[in-house]
Amino acid sequence: MKNISKLLSSLTIIHRNKIEPCILWGIHEYPLTFIPLILQVKGNYSESFERKLKRMGCKDITYFPIINGYCLSAPISRIKDIINIPILTYLSMNHKVFAFMNDTSSKLGAYQVNQYGITGRNVTIAHLDTGIYPHEDLIRPKNRILFFKDFINHATRPYDDNGHGTHCAGCIAGNGISSKGQYKGIAPDALLIGLKCLDEKGTGDIKTTLEALQWILENKEQYDIQIVHIPFGYHTSYPFPQDPLIKAVERLCQEGLIVICAAGNNGPLETSIASPATSKNVITVGSCLKPAYKNMPQSVCDFSSRGPTFTGESKPNFVVPGKNITSLYCDPQYHPSKKKDLLSIPYLSFSGTSVSSSITTGAVALLLEKYPDYTPDEVKLALEMSCKSLHLGKNAQGKGILDIEHLLTHEFK
């Protein structure tokens, strides 16, 4: 404890600008001798620097080019030495991330949209989540789960031990074959890449998320990935100038990928948008109520996170229905090594901004089929121009509710 107190008192302003505040706030109470950290550095990767970290007692070291940084476990007793590394630009915690899905509801009613002959054909979406169950609506008559990568348990074939990922995948690309078309996703011919970076509880961390984002960066050409969907994140209560997730998604945006993020379920509090949805370059989606009858007044869901961000950006970009949306369910006990049983409950209703971001992801797949040369900026502009105001504050509704029919029937160039 004395060593920790000496550390805190010895930190200069320069030091404090290079370290995430919660490390200092919680270091007294941290129950373990090792702390999970992310080091961002200047310069390129070097083996000699990794050896230096090992000599300091660091372990589980992984380098991520996408942020030019390292995830590792560091001895608390060596924090001061790490902060004094000359090439260090920022030191932060390896935070937990959480899926943005609220409780299920018994009320059914899928979000329906006319497809206008556009179905997301040949558009590939990287879907980061709890996995994807090989549901009939995704694998028949053709398997559209193009590839599956598991960063949690390292299985090689698709599964979902939680259900969140499969529900979102169904909102995006389910073809409704098990319901005779009643519960169809928005882009029923789109292709999916399932990147499992959340566990059976719907929880992961920055490291598993970075592993998935790094994989996308390295494999985007091979699989012709156009859209990245992130229906989870984490909340902080202070500005985070060197947020590694924001750094990673902005790198993907620079590479021409369209990144769509759920706003988070911490509404109606202000400044409650989750990372990485706080990035100004991603498309951030909040939730509104789905009208139960014609001309019913619409409103933003209470759970939908509100802006602005800590940097003053207005968020979300817009809202999409996200309450009581019916989509695919899964068998959470299924594992690829076992025989798949017939699902007793093939569909279920969920609520959350992850539902809304999934619907948006499907809508963007439709738009890219129609306009395959659209840049990320053009896609975002087309989406925002297709919104109808709910006459609420911009940090609750953004541009308003997305009108997918307008998106598909209007020219934007």
Question: Would you please indicate which residues are annotated as catalytic (active-site) residues?
Answer: 129, 164, 354
SS3 147: strand
Question: Max CA-CA distance within the chain?
Answer: 69
Report helix angle 206-219 to 244-254, nearest 10.
Answer: 10
- How many angstroms separate the CA atoms of 217 and 251, rounded? 8
Is the bond preceding residue 21 a cis peptide, omega within 30 degrees? Answer: no
DSSP state of 178: G
- How many angstroms separate the CA atoms of 212 and 346, rounded? 28
Task: Please name which of 200, 133, 199, 203 lies closest in space to residue 169, comparing C-alpha atoms.
Answer: 133
CB-based contacts of 197: which residues, under 8 Å, 6+ apart? 128, 129, 151, 152, 204, 208, 209, 211, 212
**CA 81 vs CA 2, 17, 46, 87: distances in Å:** 16, 16, 18, 12
Opening angle at CA 17, ends 15 and 19, nearest 5: 75
- How many angstroms separate the CA atoms of 97 and 91, rounded? 18
CB-based contacts of 141: which residues, under 8 Å, 6+ apart? 177
CB-based contacts of 413: which residues, under 8 Å, 6+ apart? 371, 378
CB-based contacts of 138: which residues, under 8 Å, 6+ apart? 132, 144, 145, 169, 170, 173, 174, 175, 192, 328
Residue 93's DSSP bridge partners are 37
Residue 91's DSSP bridge partners are 19, 39
